[in-house]
Amino acid sequence: MNKKAIAILGAIFLLIVGTLGFLIYSKYSGSKTPAPAPAAVNNNATSTDTSQPTPTNTASSTPQTQNNSSNIVQLTSDQVVSPALFFNGTGISYFDHQGNLYQATLQNNNGQLQLTSKKQLDIPLKPGMTKILWPSKGNDFIAQFTDASGKNTWSYFNSNSGSYTNLPSQVESVDWMPTGDKVMYVWLDNNKAALSLGNPDTSKHQTLGAMWEIDDQIHVSPNGSQVLYFETQNTSANNFINSVSSDGKTWKGLVKNGQNFGSLWSPDGQKFLFGKKDPSTQNYQLWVYNLNSGEIKNLGLFTTVDKAVWDKDSNVIYAAVPTSGIIGDNSLTVDSFYKMDTSTLDKKQYTSSGASIDGRDLFLNSTSDKLFFRNAQDGGLYYLDLTQ
C-alpha cells in the first residue's frame, strides 16, 4: 500500500473518531444537571443552619385556606330595635326604626338557626323608636323615643285597643311591674320628683314618696318587691345606687362609693349588676351587688350593663366587652364576648370570625346555648353559638 493510500485511511479514521467523540460529549453534557448557585453568606450565622429549605412538594407549598365555621351567625339584615324571644323561645319579635313590628320563627337547619315565617303585625306606625320596654307578661309594651339632647319620652301600646297613648312629658323614667298591668315611674313637675305606681298610661296612679333627685332612673326587681334608682346626670365623685320597697316605705342606699351607673337585676332578684366608672381612666367596669350578704364585687370586665345579660341561674352572666372604642358613651365599639361565674369569677372568652361586633340588647334562648344580640355596627340581629 502506498503512502498516499495510508494517509487517506488515517484521515478517515481520525474523522470517525472525532465524530464519535463529539456525539458522546453532546449526549452527556445535555443531560447533566447544572450545579446550584452558591448560597448567600449570612454574617450572623452560627454553626446551626436556620435557613428555610426550598419546598420540593409543590402541593404542600401552596397556602391552604382553613374554612372554620364561625360561631357568630347573622339572622337578619334588618336594622332591629329591641329584639326579644316569644312563644317560649320558639321565635323572636322585633321592631324597625319606622315602627313596624315583626315576628319570625326560629328554625334549626343542620345545627344552625334561621328566622323563618317572618310576618309583619298590623299596628299603627310610630317612627323613631330607640328602645322597647317589654313586660314579663302580656302583649302590651312601651316604646321609648330619644331626642337629640338625650331626653327620653315614652308611648304605651294597648294590644286590646291596638292604639298608642303618649305618656305625659312629666314622666322622667318608667319600668314595668312584673304583673304586666302596672308601671312604676318617676314624675317630675316644678323641679320636684316623686315615685308613683299606676296603670301603663299613668292613669289611676298612687304616689309612693318624694325623691331627692330630679334625674333618677328606676329598675323594678323581677318579683316587684324593690326598685333600684340612681342619678343619670351626677358627675361628682360619688353617685349612689339606692333601693326603695315597692310600697314606698323602706328607702336605703346600697352602693355609696364611686361613680356608679346602670343596674341589671338577676332573675331571682337577689343580685344586680352595675357599672362603676374609674375617674382616672373614665372606663367602666362591671360590679355585682348581693342583696342577701351586702357583698360588692368587682367582676373585672370593662363594659357596661347594657352590654350584659344574666343567665337564668342568677349566677352566670354573659357580656360583650369592648376591645376598641370608648366604653359607655354610646359610640360604636368592637367587642369580644365573655361568660363569667359571678361567684368564682371564672370566665371564658368566645372567639369570633373576625367580624366587627358591637353587642347590645343581649338575651339568651331557653336552653342558654345561644346568645342573641343586636350588632350596633350594622343594626342586624345576630347570635353567638355558646356550644362551640
Query: Which secondary-structure segment (H or E) carries 337?
Result: strand 334-341
Retrieve residue 107's grid coordinates.
328554625
Residue 373 phi/psi, 5-degree rounding, is -160, 160
Using CA atoms in the order 304, 306, 311, 314, what is the torsion angle rounded to 10 degrees? Answer: 70
Residue 303 has pLDDT above 60, yes or no: yes
> Which range has the worst mean pLDDT, 185-199, 234-248, 259-273, 345-359?
345-359
Residue 371 has pLDDT above 80, yes or no: yes
Task: Locate all alpha helices (DSSP H) within 146-249, ordered by sequence.
Answer: none
Residue 101 has pLDDT above 90, yes or no: yes
Which of 331, 319, 297 shows the shortest CA–CA distance to 371? 319
Residue 32 has pLDDT above 50, yes or no: no
The residue that leads in pLDDT, 70 or 262, is 262
- pLDDT (0 to 100) of residue 110: 87
Contact between 317 and 309 (Cβ < 8 Å): yes
Going by pLDDT thresholds of 50, 70 and 90, the confidence category of residue 43 is very low
Retrieve residue 54's grid coordinates.
426550598
- pLDDT (0 to 100) of residue 23: 38
Residue 356 has pLDDT above 50, yes or no: yes
Which of 361, 354, 351 shows the shortest CA–CA distance to 382? 361
Phi-psi region of 332 (alpha: psi -120 to 50; beta: other; left: phi over 0): beta
- The Cα 172–Cα 150 span in angstroms is 12
Q: How many angstroms from the chain centroid is the CA of residue 298?
A: 21
- pLDDT (0 to 100) of residue 353: 65
Q: Collapse the DSSP code of 161 into the 3-class scheme (helix H, G, I; strand E, B; otherwise coil) and give the result.
A: coil
First to last CA, the chain: 101
Q: What is the pLDDT of residues 189-228, one digit of tens each?
A: 999 999 999 999 999 999 999 999 999 999 999 999 999 9
The residue that leads in pLDDT, 356 or 133, is 133
- pLDDT (0 to 100) of residue 66: 28
Q: Mind listing the domains of the chain with CATH numbers?
A: 128-257 (2.120.10.30), 268-388 (2.120.10.30)
Give CB contacts under 8 A, 24+ apart, made by 210-217: 211/186, 214/172, 214/188, 215/172, 216/172, 216/173, 216/186, 217/173, 217/186
Q: Whole-structure pTM over 0.85, yes or no?
A: no
Residue 18 has pLDDT above 80, yes or no: no
**Scanning the structure block, which residue is given the C-alpha cell 312629658?**
169
- pLDDT (0 to 100) of residue 133: 98
Retrieve residue 268's grid coordinates.
331571682
What residues pair up with 264 in beta bridges, in sequence order?
Answer: 273
- pLDDT (0 to 100) of residue 111: 84
Q: What is the pLDDT of residues 360-370, one digit of tens each?
A: 999 999 999 99
Q: What is the pLDDT of residues 77-93, one digit of tens each?
A: 899 999 999 867 899 99
Q: Quote the mean pLDDT of the chain.
A: 84
